[in-house]
Amino acid sequence: MRPIPPPARSPRRPGAPSLSPAPRSGELGLPGAPESSAASAQESRHLPPPPRRRPGPDCKAESRGRHGLCAGLGGPGARLFGWLKERSLGRGLFVDPARDNFRTMTSLYGSIHPADSVYLSTRTHGAVFNLEYSPDGSVLTVACEQTEVLLFDPISSKHIKTLSEAHEDCVNNIRFLDNRLFATCSDDTTIALWDLRKLNTKVCTLHGHTSWVKNIEYDTNTRLLVTSGFDGNVIIWDTNRYTEDGCPHKKFFHTRFLMRMRLTPDCSKMLISTSSGYLLILHDLDLTKSLEVGSYPILRARRTTSSSDLTTSSSSSGPRVSGSPCHHSDSNSSEKHMSRASQREGVSPRNSLEVVTPEVLGESDHGNCITSLQLHPKGWATLLRCSSNSDDEECTCVYEFQEGAPVRPVSPRCSLRLTHYIEEANVGRGYIKELCFSPDGRMISSPHGYGIRLLGFDKQCSELVDCLPKEASPLRVIRSLYSHNDVVLTTKFSPTHCQIASGCLSGRVSLYQPKF
């Protein structure tokens, strides 16, 4: 077949409107495609090359392969279908720009080197137990062993303020309520509220725990502060009515062996880790109700292994009473506390409790202690740091939340499935290592010996929902950063900048950020 010459173009008069050329093969245009796809393919081999054009959004979309705008073969209809499919999944440059921004941020994290770290002057304040950024990323707070709280500007790495004698014992955790108000908790059994605009004195001191207070959560919807301590109590504080003398509070929950407590981002669940290896999940959370001993419905205790085992365990025996961290009765008595309406509808009641024993690969016969507990920023999964009770093994595990309809009214509506894991360096025995998710949930920063490791679900740092394995898979090490001279105890991502902070046992704080 002879080549088809390009159409002749008539000279254009000044001021005359330009005529748009006819759509090329493979572009979306008016109806009237060739009758045979084979014929059109044969003709396209003899067409002259199209004129070069500047790379635009369409070219970028095409370069993304099967995830781009022109995914699939078979002409304009298939390409349009592929674009609509990506749009329905919430992907693509024009649908979710933040997705591409996070991918760029992830590549920047992967380019960080240990030489890029900046040391903050912490002098002799003891070990660093916790790091926390303000929501706008303008302030970095440091919880120290020697009763002090340090404040830094993470952008300029300058020291802002030292809250000397912030507590009477070591400071364990810091939580920002907004961009100016934050709370600290301590082994002196108290919680303190602070205002960045007036750091010379505390806003108020909260008394209610009888032992070391270990972590703080905050419900932004109800403005309720939630704290937990080694006394086994979870206490609710109403910050809407705080005064200089404190604020109203009530005991919400109690369990033995309590280590850490977290709220999901939407505050629909509360997770509690224990030193006995149990993980407690309160579903359909209602913080306005106090849960006395035996007043909450007990869902079936189970062990997370695989999807098939989760299905099988729903028909197993009732909750495990021996060794359970909760003071509770059997499942028959717990059903009395369910409303008849919830039983008829087949849904679990508010604040229903599920007791889970997370699977840990390679665990020893001595049991495990869940020392650190974090939640995915989108609420998709939970992140656990587990150590054997003999302190000879330590690992990090990711568990996906399994949502679904209950099998029976008192059966769990959510269970955990182990998706990813990695063995950790067994150094600094006896100390808790606090890890964290990145703001987009694509990466994990985990203390590892004298440094930190950046971990991903795969080598491309994909989102968890895009790379869920059928069986538990190892986490991928994206980058290892070693810049401390002692065991790293805590690490934190900045919520707004490409920056990671880490603190160690000797009191040094390091900032990691790419250099340009």
pLDDT string in tens for the chain (516-residue length): 445 555 444 444 444 444 444 444 334 333 344 444 444 444 444 444 444 444 444 444 444 444 443 444 456 666 666 666 665 555 554 445 555 566 677 778 878 877 667 788 766 688 999 999 999 999 999 999 989 999 999 988 889 999 988 999 999 999 999 999 999 999 999 999 999 999 999 999 999 999 999 999 999 889 999 999 999 999 999 998 888 888 999 999 999 999 999 999 999 999 999 998 899 999 999 998 766 544 455 544 455 544 334 333 333 333 333 334 444 333 333 333 333 334 434 445 788 899 988 887 655 544 678 999 999 999 999 999 998 766 677 899 999 998 654 444 444 445 799 999 999 987 888 889 999 999 999 999 999 999 999 999 998 888 999 899 999 999 999 999 998 999 999 999 999 999 999 999 999 999 998 876
SS3 (DSSP) at 362: coil
Task: Look at residue 111 and tell me if it is in a domain.
Answer: yes
End-to-end distance of the chain based on CA atoms, in angstroms? Answer: 55
Task: Look at residue 172 and tell me if it is in a domain.
Answer: yes
CA angle 193, 372, 476 (to 5 degrees): 125
Task: Look at residue 23 and tell me if it is in a domain.
Answer: no
Among residues 457, 458, 471, 463, the alpha carbon closest in space to that of 417 is found at 471
SS3 (DSSP) at 282: strand
CA quadruple 23, 28, 31, 37: dihedral, nearest 10:
90
Domain CATH for 214: 2.130.10.10
Task: Look at residue 319 and tell me if it is in a domain.
Answer: no
pLDDT of residue 80: 65
Distance CA 445, CA 454 (A): 5
Task: Look at residue 382 and tell me if it is in a domain.
Answer: yes
Sequence length of the chain is: 516
Among residues 181, 276, 291, 277, the alpha carbon closest in space to that of 234 is found at 291
Task: Look at residue 346 and tell me if it is in a domain.
Answer: no
The CB density around residue 59, as the number of other CB atoms within 10 Å, is: 12
Number of folded domains that form the chain: 1
Q: Are 275 and 331 in contact (CB under 8 A)?
A: no
pLDDT of residue 82: 66
CA angle 259, 262, 267 (to 5 degrees): 155
Only one residue has tokens 């009237």, namely 32
Only one residue has tokens 């999901």, namely 264
The CB density around residue 67, as the number of other CB atoms within 10 Å, is: 12
Domain that holds residue 433: 105-300+351-514
pLDDT of residue 422: 95
Q: Are 234 and 254 in contact (CB under 8 A)?
A: yes
Q: Which two tokens stand for residue 78?
A: 């298939």
Task: Look at residue 57 and tell me if it is in a domain.
Answer: no
Task: Look at residue 26 and tell me if it is in a domain.
Answer: no
Only one residue has tokens 């025996």, namely 317
Stated pTM of the model: 0.72
In angstroms, the Cα distances linking 244 to 202, 204, 226, 232 are: 9, 5, 19, 27
CA angle 493, 399, 269 (to 5 degrees): 80
Distance CA 111, CA 71 (A): 30
Q: Within its chain, how far is the Cα of 423 from the centroid? A: 20
